[in-house]
Amino acid sequence: MSNNEDWLKSLITKTPQEGRELAITMARKTIGAIQSDPEIKKELREKYARDAGQLIASAEVVALEFQTVAAANNYWK
Amino acid sequence: MSNNEDWLKSLITKTPQEGRELAITMARKTIGAIQSDPEIKKELREKYARDAGQLIASAEVVALEFQTVAAANNYWK
Amino acid sequence: MSNNEDWLKSLITKTPQEGRELAITMARKTIGAIQSDPEIKKELREKYARDAGQLIASAEVVALEFQTVAAANNYWK
Amino acid sequence: MSNNEDWLKSLITKTPQEGRELAITMARKTIGAIQSDPEIKKELREKYARDAGQLIASAEVVALEFQTVAAANNYWK
Amino acid sequence: MSNNEDWLKSLITKTPQEGRELAITMARKTIGAIQSDPEIKKELREKYARDAGQLIASAEVVALEFQTVAAANNYWK
Amino acid sequence: MSNNEDWLKSLITKTPQEGRELAITMARKTIGAIQSDPEIKKELREKYARDAGQLIASAEVVALEFQTVAAANNYWK
């Protein structure tokens, strides 16, 4: 699996913004771990980026990943 | 991606109300990170604002983001 | 947006029952923030109140909001 | 609304089993707060009790409510 | 309701593996609390075990229950 | 059930990356606990790996399992 390289070295980020970007990466990498074919992934991505229900579901995954990243960073307080 | 500017400077807000507004922004920005075309976003938004199931799913994303914001602010106690 | 008044002054409530009511209000206010047209909201509400799947999804949103309210109140211990 | 009586006096229960029952009650009371007509509720209940997807979604709501009840009771340790 | 016996005596388990099994039991018992007819349960179970979407939704419920069990056991540290 | 061997010995992992892989394993093992027939599992897996909605739902399960693993490891701080 091409996604299996060591991409997640730490949950610590300098800023909330970077934490947000990490959360999006985490969500995307899971999709890539289940469906590693780049052609199929591209197709699916085009499809769900135009589907309101699937966009909202994606936003839910990002919200969950961000909960973890934010806690790891003690909310950047 | 036009959404990639540094919009999330802090999770700290003065009031619960502002925390609520931040949670809504966070949910919206994720949608914008996945679908950055303003025309498509507008179309999808009009669609899901009239779909009960998608509205409820959106409210779930906001509830999750607010959990993070509220914890970051120690619940404004 | 008519929902934008300062309705969420605090997460602290006197009793679990009041916390429960606040959680329901929070869920409803998010819907109102996304769809502010009172006619459309009323229509959608009538629809999802008769749809088992959407009722269950609404209950999930309330459960998530209540997690936040309960933590804010240290579970009314 | 007939469900509006003060049914949630405390999140504290004597045993995990009682906590579980409270979580189920919490999920049901939310449904009742949104759809208070007893005839419609009965109909919907019969329907979702035979729908695998809706049963699983109901179990998710109970799992979320139980997270709150269990934390309130410090996991009955 | 035949499921109403006192099956949840404690959230404490000796190992993460046993915690996992408890989480699966918790999810199943909720289904049983809502639909107690053994014939209908068996039918629904056969159906959702062959439906990818419902299997994933079941896995989500187990993940949520396991969050509670794992916290109760202080993550078996 | 062939999945019932003792596969979850600990929630502690050396790195976030390994924690991520454990979260994916946890999600997969739950599916295997509900549907243990290897032929059916393979079929379903092929199906949901091509379905955007089900891929996103799978990513949600992984996000939830990872919340638990990350907390168990004190976020690898």
Report chain B's C-alpha Rg in angstroms.
14
Is the Cβ of C72 closer than 8 Å to some Cβ of chain D? Answer: no
Q: What is the pLDDT of residue C3?
A: 46
Q: Is residue E6 over pLDDT 90?
A: no
Q: How many CB atoms lie within 10 A of CB C1?
A: 8
Cα separation, F47 vs F54, in Å, equals: 9
Residues of D in contact with E3 (CB under 8 A): none
Nearest CA in chain D to C67: D68
Q: What is the pLDDT of residue D3?
A: 46
The mean per-residue pLDDT over the stretch B55-69 comes to 98
Report yes or no: B46 and A50 within 8 Å, Cβ to Cβ: no
Mutate to test the interface with B, among A21, A51, A60 (most CBs of B within 10 A): A60
Q: pLDDT tens digits, residue range C11-70? A: 999 999 999 999 999 999 999 999 999 999 999 999 999 999 999 999 999 999 999 999
More confident residue, F49 or F2: F49
The mean per-residue pLDDT over the stretch F11-19 comes to 97
Nearest to D68 by CA among E66, E16, C64, B68: C64
Give me the DSSP letters along chain B: -GGGS-----S--SSHHHHHHHHHHHHHHHHHHH---HHHHHHHHHHHTT-HHHHHHHHHHHHHHHHHHHHHTGGG-
Q: Is residue A4 over pLDDT 70?
A: no
Task: Verify whether the Cβ–Cβ distance C34 to B58 is below 8 Å.
Answer: yes
- The pTM of this model reads 0.95
The mean per-residue pLDDT over the stretch B63-73 comes to 98
Nearest CA in chain D to C14: D9
Report yes or no: F27 and F58 within 8 Å, Cβ to Cβ: yes
**What ipTM was assigned to the predicted interfaces of this complex?**
0.93
Band the pLDDT of E4: cuts 50, 70, 90.
low
Q: What is the pLDDT of residue C66?
A: 98
The residues, ordered by sequence, that sit 6+ positions from F51 with a Cβ below 8 Å of its Cβ are E52, E53
Q: What is the pLDDT of residue E9?
A: 95
Q: Is residue E3 over pLDDT 90?
A: no
State the residue for tokens 């549907």.
F35
Q: pLDDT tens digits, residue range A34-75? A: 999 999 999 999 999 999 999 999 999 999 999 999 999 999
Cα separation, F74 vs A37, in Å, equals: 34
The mean per-residue pLDDT over the stretch D30-36 comes to 94
Nearest CA in chain C to B62: C30
Q: Left, alpha or beta for F47 (phi > 0: left; psi -120 to 50: alpha)?
A: alpha
Q: pLDDT tens digits, residue range D44-61? A: 999 999 999 999 999 999
Q: Is residue A1 over pLDDT 80?
A: no
Report yes or no: E55 and F58 within 8 Å, Cβ to Cβ: no
Touching status, chains A and F (3+ beta-carbon pairs under 8 Å): yes
Residues of D in contact with C17 (CB under 8 A): 6-9
Distances (CA, A) of A9 to D28, F8, F14, F20, F22: 43, 23, 11, 11, 15
Q: Is residue F67 over pLDDT 70?
A: yes
Q: Is residue E43 over pLDDT 70?
A: yes
Q: How many CB atoms lie within 10 A of CB D76?
A: 20
Q: What is the pLDDT of residue F1?
A: 37
Q: Is residue A20 over pLDDT 50?
A: yes
Q: What is the pLDDT of residue D4?
A: 54
Band the pLDDT of C4: cuts 50, 70, 90.
low
